[in-house]
Structure 1
Amino acid sequence: MPELRPWRSARPHVVRIAGAVRPRLARAAAAAKPRVARLARAGKPQVARLTRPKTWQFAAGAATAGLALAAGVVTAAGPWDSSGQRTAERDRAAAMDRPGGTDHGGTSGAPGRPRPAPSAAPVLTGLGGVSKVRSAPDGKALENALTPLLEDPALGPRPAAAVVDVTSGRRLYGTGSDAALTPASTTKIATAVAALSAMGADHRITTRAALEPDTQEVVLVGGGDPTLTAHENDGGWASLRTLAAETAGDLAERGVREVTLSYDTTLYAGDEKHPIGVNPNLAPVSPLMADEGRTDDSTSGPVARVPDPAADAARTFGDLLKSHGIKTTAPGPSKATTRAKTLATVSSPPLSALVERMLTNSDNDIAEALARQTALATGDRADFAGADRAVSAQLRELGLPLKGAAFKDGSGLNRADRLTADLLTALLAKAADPDRPELRPALTGLPVAGFTGTLTSRYTDGAAGVVRAKTGTLTGVNTLAGTLVDQDGRLLAFAFMANDTTNPEAAQKALDRAATTLSECGCG
């Protein structure tokens, strides 16, 4: 499947996939047509200024790019998604006819190497133009629409909710919005914003092979890239195959044909084991792993993991070196010295792409890695406690409401995590801030209702393609936080949190009804 990139014309891609998904898009297209027309008209002045974006725009894109594409492909691509984006990526996901990622309990994704999460250029400026002539939704009207839905017994005794107008940052609705609750996987929104703020959307994570000059020891040094793969580099991800080929080539030039092989995991500190213990939803948290330590060809979802991802990756690297004529010993743990000469390196895609993949597929391994990378970037200890401090510090610098918040991990698997609905909506609004474009992947990576990631099989009604949100599911916990465009063309951020639920399916449906109702609200 061709990769959709914001700086290229999307028309050929859209035309190819439109036929496959046309029946599924018809309902959503009919509902969204009026708002698309308004947005396209608002964006006309921007069309002439379409330019090739910088690296961070690989994930987010410039607003002008989305506006330019709107006029040309809106008929083929269908409605706009919840952050005001063109939704060619939805069509692609539907055409692939595959399940989304896990939310701590779904089925594994289809085999095959993952590609960067699809994204399109947001048109937040277009929405801002609409907002100048549209009043904010009326709080009383929102209360009348949402309160009965949030009183559903399926959501437990005290659900929390918040709705924010992204353009103004004003809270339009709230109930228990300052209560610190277990957020489950919506924690990943906080992880994403903190990591992007600390390192920037262009940041890449490097894995290297180094040669100790006196001992002929080759050390595979883990840099913390959770997307390193042992397969071919077919989607922009760093590959051990590439690293092995380049390492072997350098060794051959040096006349070295036999080496002692070691691996270095000293970048991270503390316990590799997550507090939940051995679990199919994530591997031990190591700075060196290939394919997330998965024991099959899946790319998302729960599956048994190898007990020592670093040793497993090093053995694979050794086998690859042997295939290039370099004889190695069985690998063992070590630490590269300052005298070690770098033989070869491979780097991850930009952080923007890692964030999108994490959010789209609810990828716990990426989440834990990004939390530790945030700690490293800010000078803290790269363990669970250091990541907690680093994420909190970054969000505090952004001026976000942290009262009661706790980040005991980066993924949300830890039940000791605490977030509020106010914080979740503030995170989403901050990611939409025109002055913080590096945070935009925290929006573009959100699953699209009915089409991508953990929302692939949800929202079969008119909200498909309109709601864009991160799900959160643990036993007794159901949460949903994201963005949508209401009937008046307003970009809204919302967060619904339910703890002490007893029927996960009923709770999930209740949250979906609330988001759908919000998207259909003409509450101006």
Structure 2
Amino acid sequence: MAGTRRGLVGAGVAAATGIALLAGGTPAHPLAPGAGAAPSAAAARPVLEPAVSTPDGVPSTAGVQAALGALTGDKALGTLTFAIADGTTGKLLLGSGESSPATPASTTKLATSVAALSLLPPQTRLATKVVKGAGPDEIVLVGGGDPTLSGLNPDQIRIGLAPVDGDSAPASLPDLARQTAAALKAANLTTVHLDYDTSLYTGPAFHPFNDGTDIGPMSALMIDEGRVTATDDVEAPVRVPDPAGQAAAKFGDLLAAQGVKVADKPKEAAAPAGAARLGEVESPIIGRLVERALTNSDNTLAEAIGRQVAVAGKQPVSYEGAAAAVTAELARLGLPMQGVQLNDSSGLNTHNTIPPVLLTDLLAMAAAPDHPQLRPVLTGLPIGGFTGTLRLRYQAAQGSADGAGIVRAKTGSLTGVNTLAGSVVDADGRVLVFALMTKGAVDPNAARYAMDRIVTRLASCGCR
């Protein structure tokens, strides 16, 4: 069977999109060496060759229902609503409560990602810059909403064992300091007053469900996503209470190392309109940011991406404004929005609701040939047993090892809620998309593994 199995996105697509892979096909977090290492049990499996289309392998409702049997009734799931659709046509094959609003948790990021990739040009990058201030010896560090701006030098930022490419390399604050210092010295300035501008964002900085680890205060200016250190464990990062102040202080130190003294403590102030630029660095392109947000279920990055949708959609650049902009863009795309209620871009808000069928529609749209700009939604999905939030799932002990390297899906977890939405290729080479949404499970791990067994069964069936 292994010789005939196919995954949705394989090495050819990875090369075309510029995704750097570790051994076993694992894209690592660029600021956390070794993150996402594949378990040894999965490492020997082939990883995700291109999917094939087989006209005689069209799945049917009866076939899917027969394949799943009693798995959807597993008591470990609590209450399950779900949708399973043909990934080629988007046609619903099987569902239960598929149109009923449910708490999506982090599968909300699929909605944010589709809206961003649809609305923003593919080469969109988020710029952090330094401009001249109001006085002759004043400069302003201006945040452009890039939370991946790194406090590391470019040559220290890596994916796995190889340097990142031009599309995925995070911007470097030390590089910005070097540019700025060179411009200041050319103007015979070696002592300056430093301000910093965070005015791009509006509204509260703290998420209503902020815990200081999964997400910290949002700011248009931050380094390393507001973590205490650039190399904090991505599974349990510690966030600083003032990310903009942290970034400005770091920038002042970097200027000093370049021979430019900052006369006093940096303060927050808006940059003058039309001020001359002294230096600028840019984030990875929007598709790479989406991939990183989905693979690692990165809440801070997802909220930042949502705010860029708000900018483009001319909404307030806040939690609520971003949610409104995402909702409006999905409606413009013709997606069914009944029962959809978004309050943030990451899925941390427990008041979000999305029906399972919208999640499968989002995935089918991302795979459709007439929406090539949405492909990072698929390439960013974690791979079962290999990457991101699925790297420790799809194991033999969980009864789902046959899904390792085959399943790609976005996870979601909140208290009492577990969700999974993604794609799988059946034994006939046909892509299926699915959304499984549970609530009320007694044991969250048992619920997750029960969902994984459902998806693994889809992978092993012809479903005709």
TM-score by length of 2: 0.88
What is the distance in 1 between the residues matched to 2:49 and 2:288? 19
Name the residue aligned to 1:294: 227
**Displacement of 1:89 after TM fit?**
5.7
* Matched position secondary structure for 2:5: helix
Name the residue aligned to 1:258: 191
Q: Kindly report which structure 2 residues correspond to 1:111-130, keeping only aligned pairs within 5 A, or say none.
A: 111-112=32-33, 127=52, 130=53
What is the distance in 2 between the residues matched to 1:180 and 1:146? 23
Distance change (3 Å), C-alpha of 1:253 and 1:360: same
Question: In the alignment, is residue 387 of structure 1 matched against residue 309 of structure 2?
Answer: no
| Letter matched to residue 34 of structure 1 | T
Q: Which of 404, 409, 415 does residue 464 from structure 1 map onto?
A: 404
What is the distance in 2 between the residues matched to 1:513 and 1:122? 19
**Displacement of 1:144 after TM fit?**
2.8
Distance change (3 Å), C-alpha of 1:383 and 1:225: same
Q: Is residue 189–residue 424 contact of structure 1 (8 Å, CA) maintained in 2?
A: yes
Q: Which of 332, 338, 344 does residue 267 from structure 2 map onto?
A: 332
Q: Kindly report which structure 2 residues correspond to 1:17-28, keeping only aligned pairs within 5 A, or say none.
A: none
**Displacement of 1:147 after TM fit?**
5.2
| Letter matched to residue 313 of structure 1 | A
Name the residue aligned to 2:64: 142
| Letter matched to residue 355 of structure 1 | V
Distance change (3 Å), C-alpha of 1:359 and 1:36: closer
**Displacement of 1:191 after TM fit?**
0.8
Question: In the alignment, is residue 168 of structure 1 matched against residue 89 of structure 2?
Answer: yes
What is the distance in 1 between the residues matched to 2:272 and 2:291? 35
Q: Which of 438, 441, 447 does residue 498 from structure 1 map onto?
A: 438
What is the distance in 1 between the residues matched to 2:206 and 2:23? 36
Name the residue aligned to 1:58: 18
What is the distance in 2 between the residues matched to 1:114 and 1:36? 25
* Matched position secondary structure for 1:134: helix
More deviation, 229-238/256-265: 229-238
Q: Is residue 476–residue 499 contact of structure 1 (8 Å, CA) maintained in 2?
A: yes
Name the residue aligned to 2:110: 189
More deviation, 229-238/430-439: 229-238
Name the residue aligned to 1:441: 376
What is the distance in 1 between the residues matched to 2:374 and 2:5? 25
Q: Is residue 90–residue 448 contact of structure 1 (8 Å, CA) maintained in 2?
A: no
| Letter matched to residue 499 of structure 1 | K
**Displacement of 1:112 after TM fit?**
4.0
**Displacement of 1:92 after TM fit?**
4.0
Q: Is residue 113–residue 299 contact of structure 1 (8 Å, CA) maintained in 2?
A: no
Deviations 1:118-145 (A, max 9, x none): xxx9987x63xx23x3242120121233
Q: Which of 257, 266, 284 does residue 349 from structure 1 map onto?
A: 284
* Matched position secondary structure for 2:70: helix
**Displacement of 1:282 after TM fit?**
1.0
Question: In the alignment, is residue 32 of structure 1 matched against residue 33 of structure 2?
Answer: no
Q: Is residue 48–residue 406 contact of structure 2 (8 Å, CA) maintained in 1?
A: no
Name the residue aligned to 2:39: none
Q: Is residue 112–residue 299 contact of structure 1 (8 Å, CA) maintained in 2?
A: no
What is the distance in 1 between the residues matched to 2:288 and 2:379? 10
Name the residue aligned to 2:144: 223
Alignment RMSD (CA, Å): 2.5
**Displacement of 1:146 after TM fit?**
2.7
Q: Is residue 110–residue 299 contact of structure 1 (8 Å, CA) maintained in 2?
A: no
Name the residue aligned to 2:78: 156
Distance change (3 Å), C-alpha of 1:112 and 1:186: same
Q: Is residue 232–residue 238 contact of structure 2 (8 Å, CA) maintained in 1?
A: no
Name the residue aligned to 1:454: 389
Name the residue aligned to 1:206: 127
What is the distance in 2 between the residues matched to 1:33 and 1:292? 42
Greater relative CO, 1 or 2 (CA 8 Å, sep 6+): 2
* Matched position secondary structure for 1:381: coil
Q: Is residue 178–residue 258 contact of structure 2 (8 Å, CA) maintained in 1?
A: yes
Name the residue aligned to 1:281: 214
What is the distance in 1 between the residues matched to 2:60 and 2:133? 67
What is the distance in 1 between the residues matched to 2:121 and 2:369? 15
Name the residue aligned to 2:202: 269
More deviation, 148-157/309-318: 148-157
Q: Is residue 32–residue 234 contact of structure 2 (8 Å, CA) maintained in 1?
A: no
* Matched position secondary structure for 1:495: strand
Q: Is residue 281–residue 303 contact of structure 1 (8 Å, CA) maintained in 2?
A: yes
Name the residue aligned to 2:254: 320
More deviation, 461-470/146-155: 146-155
Deviations 1:377-407 (A, max 9, x none): 1111101111111000111111111111112
Q: Is residue 210–residue 216 contact of structure 2 (8 Å, CA) maintained in 1?
A: no
Name the residue aligned to 1:474: 414
What is the distance in 2 between the residues matched to 1:395 and 1:425? 13
What is the distance in 2 between the residues matched to 1:138 and 1:281? 40
**Displacement of 1:502 after TM fit?**
1.9
Q: Which of 478, 481, 484 does residue 424 from structure 2 map onto?
A: 484
What is the distance in 2 between the residues matched to 1:339 and 1:352? 29
**Displacement of 1:90 after TM fit?**
6.5
Deviations 1:79-105 (A, max 9, x none): xxxxxxxx96671439x8xxxx8xxxx
**Displacement of 1:161 after TM fit?**
0.8
| Letter matched to residue 260 of structure 1 | H
Q: Is residue 294–residue 306 contact of structure 1 (8 Å, CA) maintained in 2?
A: yes
The unaligned stretches of length 5 or more in structure 2 are 37-46, 158-163, 396-400
Q: Is residue 405–residue 418 contact of structure 1 (8 Å, CA) maintained in 2?
A: yes
* Matched position secondary structure for 1:517: helix
Name the residue aligned to 1:372: 307
TM-score by length of 1: 0.78
What is the distance in 1 between the residues matched to 2:446 and 2:35? 31
What is the distance in 2 between the residues matched to 1:471 and 1:318? 39
What is the distance in 1 between the residues matched to 2:389 and 2:357? 23
Instruction: Identify, as 1 or 2, the structure richer in helix.
Output: 1
Q: Is residue 147–residue 226 contact of structure 2 (8 Å, CA) maintained in 1?
A: no
Q: Is residue 212–residue 339 contact of structure 1 (8 Å, CA) maintained in 2?
A: no
* Matched position secondary structure for 2:130: strand
* Matched position secondary structure for 1:207: strand
